Amino acid sequence: MLQTDDRAVLIDLGVLQSEPANEYHARSGEYLSSHRLIDFMKSPWLYFKKLSGLLVDHDSPAYLVGRAAHARILEGRDAYEAQFALGGPINPKTGRPFGANTKAFEEWAAAQGKPVLSLEQVDLVEQMAAAVAMNDDAVDLLLYGRSEGVVRAEYCGTPCQIRIDWTHPHRGIVDLKTCDELDWFEADARRYRYMTQLAFYQAVLAEAITQLVPVHVVAVEKREPYRCGVWRAGDDALTIARRENEAAIRRLLACRQKEMWPTGYEGIRILDTT
């Protein structure tokens, strides 16, 4: 049963493995992840193309900043500065960093051997970190626990893996999201299937610790006024999403067995906008 009282939760953080992100993602062919499950729910053909390497996810500037914010907020400044090159070379004429579009910056970035953040992106990450630090509920959730913990377990008859942004020993799963505007965050959650992801995390973790734990989301804006909000995922919504996930995994296993990957748009649909 899901513990409705956070104080009744006690998670052994020893079940969480430490693993670099690239090693975790390299095993996506062996283990089903929440993102791959969402791909399948959108279209089995999309899932197959990504899994077989026919379609590759690209690292967009927004995704880069999101990863940097996760490192800065959840892992701390030392880990953040170790993972990313910050700012760029200094223009001796102005005493300020070269712009991100200059040849000097491009040459410097190519020599770093790790992802590079421009001065503007560094400032953005710091603004988001400051916003999280201003929210007492977010600070409380992130005060104790472990970042980027990996769990692998069999769920619904298939090997699965999760990499949890933050696990609090008494408050459960905490997921950090960046967004353009908090006023539209709940609409974004529906659009990007956040509940699908969170229910998957909750269920796979439950396979390792034999209990369903609470799930929280800390969301922070990527632009002024850089507000931060905290949500707790509703128990009923998680239950519905978990059932949908389990039905999707059964369909996935059937597709694997038949080696058939439909687009999801076979047949004629009725278009009625009235």
Does 2 have pLDDT greater than 50? Answer: no
Neighbours of 192 (CB within 10 A): 13
Q: Which two tokens stand for residue 132?
A: 């999280």
Cβ–Cβ < 8 Å for 32, 158:
yes
Q: Is the pLDDT of residue 167 over 90?
A: yes
pLDDT value at residue 69: 98
For residue 6, what pLDDT band results from cuts at 50, 70 and 90?
A: low
Average pLDDT, integer, range 194-211: 97
Return the structure tokens found at 148.
């980027």
The amino acid at residue 17 is Q
The token pair that represents 199 in the structure block: 């229910």
Per-residue pLDDT, 1? 43
**Arithmetic mean of pLDDT over the chain:** 94
Using pLDDT thresholds of 50, 70 and 90, give the confidence band for residue 5: low
Domain boundaries, the chain: 6-53+120-258
Stretch (H or E) spanning 51 = helix 44-51
Residues belonging to the chain: 274
User: Average of pLDDT values for 29-40?
Assistant: 97
pLDDT at 201 over 60: yes
Q: How far is the C-alpha of 215 from the C-alpha of 232, rounded, in Å?
A: 6
pLDDT value for 3: 46
Given a cut of 60, is residue 4 above it in pLDDT?
A: no
pLDDT above 90: percentage of residues in the chain? 84
76/41 Cα distance (integer angstroms): 35
Stated pTM of the model? 0.92
DSSP 151-165: EEEEETTEEEEEEEE
Q: What value does the mean pLDDT take over residues 86-110?
A: 88
- pLDDT recorded at residue 93: 87
For residue 82, pLDDT beyond 90: yes
pLDDT(7) > 70: no
Tokens representing 231 are 């949500």
Q: How far apart are the C-alpha atoms of 140 and 172, rounded to whole Å?
A: 12
- Tell me the three state secondary structure of residue 269: coil
Mean pLDDT (whole number) for 57-74: 92
* pLDDT exceeds 50 at position 235: yes
Q: Does position 243 have pLDDT exceeding 90, yes or no?
A: yes
Q: What is the dihedral of CA 32, 68, 142, 16, to 10 degrees?
A: 30
Distance CA 46, CA 36 (A): 9
Residues in contact with 35: Cβ distance below 8 Å, sequence separation at least 6, in sequence order: 197
Instruction: Provide the β-strand partners of residue 173.
Output: 167, 215
In this predicted structure, the answer to whether residue 186 has a pLDDT above a threshold of 80 is yes
Strand 116-118 with 85-87, pairing: parallel
CATH topology assigned to domain 6-53+120-258 = Lambda Exonuclease; Chain A (3.90.320)
Q: Which residues of 160-187 are buried (b: 16+ CB within 10 A; e: fewer)?
A: bbbbbbbbbeebbbbbbbbbeebeebee
pLDDT of residue 249: 98
